[in-house]
Structure 1
Amino acid sequence: MEKAMQSSHGVGYETYMTQHEVRMEVEMKREEDYKKSQELIAELDSKLHNHL
């Protein structure tokens, strides 16, 4: 988990767990990434259904 956290967000797990500001930044970025992925999925799904 440490390596994934470091490579994905640029912070170590210990920093993430002990620094509230860092944790909030990471979680906001995760939320943003999730929303973008959901928009992309909806767009691709729409295109797929329009071409069937």
Structure 2
Amino acid sequence: MHQAHNMSYAEYSRKLDTRLKVEEKRQREFEQSQKMIAQVDRQLHR
């Protein structure tokens, strides 16, 4: 938790606004990774 988001788990669980920001960042990163995977998959199956 600390390496990825620069905060301790205690801080993450204590502050709702911080938790929401972390989860939004995780969602964006997940969506970006899914787009990259789809792009690579399309290039492999030409």
- What TM-score, normalized to structure 1? 0.86
What is residue 30 of structure 2 aligned with on the other side?
34
Match of 1:24 among 16, 20, 25: 20
**Which structure has the greater CA radius of gyration?**
1
State the one-letter code of the partner of 1:45: D
- What TM-score, normalized to structure 2? 0.97
| Identity across matched positions, percent | 35
Report the number of matched residues.
46
Deviations 1:17-51 (A, max 9, x none): 0000100000000000000000000000000001x
Q: Which runs of 5+ in 2 are unaligned?
A: none
